[in-house]
Structure 1
Amino acid sequence: MRLLLSLLLLLLPTPLLAQWKMAETERFRVYADMPARKLEQRAALLEDFHALLVRATGRDLPPGSPPLDVFLVSDMAQASPWRPVDPRVSGFYRASSGRISAFAMEDLPDSRIPDLAQTLLLHEYAHHFLLGASRNAYPAWYVEGFAEYYSTARFGNDSIDYGLASPVRAQTLVRAPWIPLERLLARDPSLLRGDDSAIFYAQSWLLTHYLFRAPGMRGRLSDYLKAYAAGADPVEAFRTHIDPDFRAFEAKLRRYVVREATYSRFNRIDETRPTVRITELPASASTMLMPMIAIEQGVPPDRREEALADLRQRAARFPGDPLALRALALGELQLGSPMAAADLLDAQLARTPDDADLLRWRAQAARLLGQPEVARTYLLRAMRANPQDWRTALAYSRLYRSTAQPMPDQALEALMKAYRLAPQVNDVVLDAALALANAGRTGEAAQVLEPLAWAPHGGPASELAQRMLVKARAGDVAGVQGQVEDLRRQQIAGGQIGRRR
């Protein structure tokens, strides 16, 4: 009986046998619990996709841009503990002041659409690339249409096809009533949610596909996007630069999707395959990795106590394990006691004194404990350990952050470096805009704010950016400062700002 039980335990899947790995390339760090060969192929595919975007658009991310962290999971709930995820979601992208990451399903075995999991992952990376490579404000339909257009790319040994039809979107276009063009073009974040979201994505894909590929449309699209970025009304700009007759234009789209849509093929030029380094993560990764990432990206206020208790319980299963201690230190820092976090971090820094993440977290603990000079010392060490870490540059600039006073040159330089490397992060954008306005550079502040102000999904950060943008375009420094001060007063009144000990 005991032998039979032992054999059954060996046959059953169990987290204890899971072996998370990291595949690292020049531009990506891909984490998953899957065979090394399969993980290597996923990472190489992402590098291939990046090269396609560069070749097709003529743009690239700034030199020194940090690798994007990509997490492939078997269940999307695994990707977001303590923060509910709609069960229909198969991938998402999150850019916070703690980390920029994309999350996607490893596979969707029950899907009738081949390679749907891959398509979703490429869609998320296209968002990251578009904002990082251009810094322009784009309408929601174009942001989503751009990602849809390139995400169907397929990679062969000798060629790359892109601009392929999306079976999911094509089916939706046939079955669902279309959103009127005036509403599709307008700034309406509600279209990305609820019952209209499927047809919104489908029409956005079709509109982008048509304007990219129909004869004479590329130039008109370029003029339209320039007008949009300059603040023109999106509906009137479309009439001016693309087509004044919306009824006739919609008829063109309907004909195009049925009979005229094409795709492109790149023949591969002699190229070297990307270098992919596989690292096996400790056994604790199956328990500690995703919760640690979730804490870096922020836990909802009403789940903080639960998250900390859960994390402490998880870490207790791996006494002395470096990853578990690291996660526990971050949990104490963000959710619990800065003093306890400082003690945990000091012990780890004694073993690895040049770890930039640990140094940055130790600086945050010092700030929370009212020790700004200690924090500055740790941040300077972190910048020496990893000069390209935008999170350290942002943290350093925040030692000198003021609503009404210009930053010292060194701090402003650090902040603008963070913005150059991570324009996808709302906190970086808002900090940079405020600092530029304080320095009297309101025109530059407006340019920084525009993409966030008209971000497709909207939200509080976008609404704040819109209000700041109006003041920055008017050259009203005090007005920009006032918008930030109003928000800070609301946060204090709501108990969102305070010192923890």
Structure 2
Amino acid sequence: MMMKVTGLAFFLMTLFIPGQAYAEWHEASSDNFLVIADQNEKDTREFAERLERFHAAMYYILGRGTPKVSPSNRVTIYVVRTSSQVRKLAGDKTGFVLGFYQPRAGGSVAFTARVDSDGAKVSQSEQVLLHEYAHHVMHSTNQWSTPRWLSEGFAEFFSTARFEKNGGVGLGLPAQHRAAELALARNVPIQALLDASAYKRPRNGVYDEFYGRSWLLYHYLLLSGKRPRQLINYQVALANGATELDAAKTAFGDLNQLEKEIDAYLKRPRLRYVPIPGENLAVGAITVRKMRDAEAAIMPVVLASKRGVDAETAKTLLPQAQSIARSYPNDPFVLAALAEAEHDAGNDAVAVQMADKALAADPASVNAHVQKIFALSRLAENADNPDAAWKRTRKAITALNKVEVDHPIPLIYYYRSLKSAGEGITDVATRGLDRALQLAPYDKSVRWELTHQLVAEEDYATAYRILLPLANDPHNRSDDNPAIKLLAQIKQDWEQQAKAELQ
């Protein structure tokens, strides 16, 4: 998976220290997670079970059933030995990164250091992971745009979980890790908190209380009992097209009064939380296996590839992958990882060969199928015989779809194959792209592609709804956000269409 990562070359060098052993790699597979951990079987199982309890507790609070997801739509969590390894993977130079999450269709991943699953309270590393997974759940269950304060307040609320020995989970405990921030950091007025366009993050390095105030407001609206249904009303107003500030005024009334209330709420000696008994948390089967020597040997390559590489680090990674593959020439996991490294380095024909070797050993190797699709698609774009090349690509797409019908990559790449080949987009292709977005609503590129397709079909109402989260992205409020301009154009075309239908 290609993406620019600063400092990854150094990470690769530190991972491939001669004689360094990776004998403890285990894989835990559950309904919602695939945990690949550099730790023993017992800790890997307990960590996966803890994650599943957290997932069930979140859905219990949200009042939703827990739908069974397709295997590739689970989050894969890579557990490395130390926080310093996490920071090297992230290319972090601040020294503060304890974990991170990357959402992508058919391949959402998170990276964290080893977690102690015995204690009731969560560690800092685990809290970061739970925060990011809460974002994943919010984006998976909410089709509308979410203001930044709500997104971060939601994630902070759930990140302070408590795991009881009797199987229960407590959610919404006080955010003690934000205490200093709320007491000492730069103030964020309520109007700026609720209106992303008014919030100006300080550029001089001064830390503000945005995250702490977001948690405080969300906790107050959800658990204080003072403002029932107002959070729901606020989200309904946003869904109906209100601006962030107007939605807040409509749902909450006098914002200055709201600010006084949350200030007083913060001073309470005790705050409520939600204890959920273990019998209300259904956790499915968890299977754990020790990974083969070949899998353990190639794992540093897998970590780097799944994190994402640029052209420079892809060239650094490839010889390592090739060297390991020479030691394990018939292992499907190793061959699929090599196919990915070859593709990232621009060697698409070789990537296809390695993917085919992996599939000969294991026809169900999802990563081998995916890498073959990626490589064939890029080869087809410059093929001398494009018709034959795209036919071969679609054959690979169909093969993965048969292995896993709800894997989003075949749905996305079938649409892209028609688009790139200059062929007409079929209803099947459009429905497939729409299904891919349902499976991975957090994937911005898929959302963008579907919007453009709906505009081409003059389905402006649906296009407007699909694009709205990108146009209102609280992390990209700049005037050069292309989604804002396109949304305005869609709205204008939609209005003209409605006028024409009335004539």
Report the TM-score range of the alignment, normalised by the length of the smaller protein: 0.7 to 0.9
Which has the higher mean CA deviation after the structures are superposed, 154-163 or 55-64? 55-64
Q: CA deviation at 1:298?
A: 3.5
Q: CA deviation at 1:227?
A: 2.2
The 3-state SS of whatever aligns with 2:111 is strand
Q: What amino acid maps onto 1:449 in structure 2?
A: L
Which has the higher mean CA deviation after the structures are superposed, 455-464 or 170-179? 455-464
Q: Which residue of 1 aligns with 2:455?
A: 437
Say which of 32, 41, 44 aligns to 1:36.
41
Q: Which residue of 2 aligns with 1:125?
A: 133
Q: Which residue of 2 aligns with 1:181?
A: 190
Q: CA deviation at 1:208?
A: 0.7
**TM-score, normalised by the number of residues in structure 1:** 0.83
Report 1:2-401 matches (<5 A). Answer: 15-60=20-65, 63-65=68-70, 66-76=73-83, 78-79=85-86, 84-85=91-92, 86-97=94-105, 99-107=107-115, 115-156=123-164, 157=166, 159-187=168-196, 191=201, 195=205, 199-246=209-256, 248-259=257-268, 261-269=271-279, 273-296=283-306, 298-301=308-311, 303-312=313-322, 315=325, 318-370=328-380, 371-401=389-419
The 3-state SS of whatever aligns with 2:418 is coil
Q: Which residue of 1 aligns with 2:429?
A: 411
Matched, 1:454 2:464: no
Q: CA deviation at 1:470?
A: 2.3
Q: Deviations over 1:366-414 (max 9, x none)?
A: 2222211100111111111111211222112211237998620111122
Q: CA distance change for structure 1 residues 390 and 61 in 2, over 3 Å: closer, same or farther?
A: farther
Q: Distance in 1 between matches of 2:79 and 2:169?
A: 24
Q: What amino acid maps onto 2:219 in structure 1?
A: H
- Whether the 8 Å contact between 1:401 and 1:407 is mirrored in structure 2 is yes
Q: CA distance change for structure 1 residues 290 and 422 in 2, over 3 Å: closer, same or farther?
A: farther
Q: CA distance change for structure 1 residues 469 and 108 in 2, over 3 Å: closer, same or farther?
A: farther
- Whether the 8 Å contact between 2:56 and 2:283 is mirrored in structure 1 is no
Q: Deviations over 1:332-374 (max 9, x none)?
A: 1122211111222222222223433323322332222221110
Q: Which residue of 2 aligns with 1:486?
A: none
Q: Which residue of 1 aligns with 2:7?
A: none
Q: CA deviation at 1:114?
A: 5.5
Q: What amino acid maps onto 1:166 in structure 2?
A: A
Q: What amino acid maps onto 1:250 in structure 2?
A: E
Q: CA deviation at 1:81?
A: 6.2
Which has the higher mean CA deviation after the structures are superposed, 96-105 or 435-444? 96-105
The 3-state SS of whatever aligns with 1:475 is helix
The 3-state SS of whatever aligns with 1:274 is coil
The 3-state SS of whatever aligns with 1:26 is coil
Which has the higher mean CA deviation after the structures are superposed, 334-343 or 192-201? 192-201
Which has the higher mean CA deviation after the structures are superposed, 261-270 or 118-127? 261-270
Q: Deviations over 1:244-284 (max 9, x none)?
A: 242x4322212101116322222333666431100222234
Q: What amino acid maps onto 2:453 in structure 1?
A: A
Q: Distance in 2 between matches of 1:191 and 1:271?
A: 39
The 3-state SS of whatever aligns with 1:359 is helix
CA RMSD of aligned residues (A): 3.3
Stretches of structure 1 lacking an aligned partner (at least 5 in a row):
1-12, 479-501
- Whether the 8 Å contact between 1:149 and 1:164 is mirrored in structure 2 is yes
Q: What amino acid maps onto 2:187 in structure 1?
A: W
Q: What amino acid maps onto 2:482 in structure 1?
A: L
Stretches of structure 2 lacking an aligned partner (at least 5 in a row):
1-17, 381-388, 497-503
**TM-score, normalised by the number of residues in structure 2:** 0.82
Q: CA deviation at 1:446?
A: 1.7
Q: CA deviation at 1:202?
A: 0.9
Q: Deviations over 1:293-313 (max 9, x none)?
A: 543453235544334455445
Q: Distance in 2 between matches of 1:461 and 1:340?
A: 43
Q: CA distance change for structure 1 residues 158 and 22 in 2, over 3 Å: closer, same or farther?
A: closer
Q: CA distance change for structure 1 residues 158 and 379 in 2, over 3 Å: closer, same or farther?
A: closer
Q: Which residue of 1 aligns with 2:12?
A: none
- Whether the 8 Å contact between 2:434 and 2:450 is mirrored in structure 1 is yes
Q: CA deviation at 1:205?
A: 0.6
- Whether the 8 Å contact between 1:72 and 1:105 is mirrored in structure 2 is yes
Q: CA deviation at 1:78?
A: 3.7
Percent sequence identity over aligned pairs: 26
The 3-state SS of whatever aligns with 1:96 is coil
The 3-state SS of whatever aligns with 1:49 is helix
Q: Distance in 2 between matches of 1:269 and 1:57?
A: 17
Q: What amino acid maps onto 2:376 in structure 1?
A: A
Q: Which residue of 2 aligns with 1:463?
A: 481
Q: Distance in 1 between matches of 2:252 and 2:101?
A: 31
- Whether the 8 Å contact between 1:82 and 1:299 is mirrored in structure 2 is no
Q: CA deviation at 1:184?
A: 1.9
The 3-state SS of whatever aligns with 2:112 is strand
Q: Distance in 2 between matches of 1:138 and 1:344?
A: 42
Q: Distance in 1 between matches of 2:457 and 2:495?
A: 9
Q: CA distance change for structure 1 residues 46 and 180 in 2, over 3 Å: closer, same or farther?
A: same
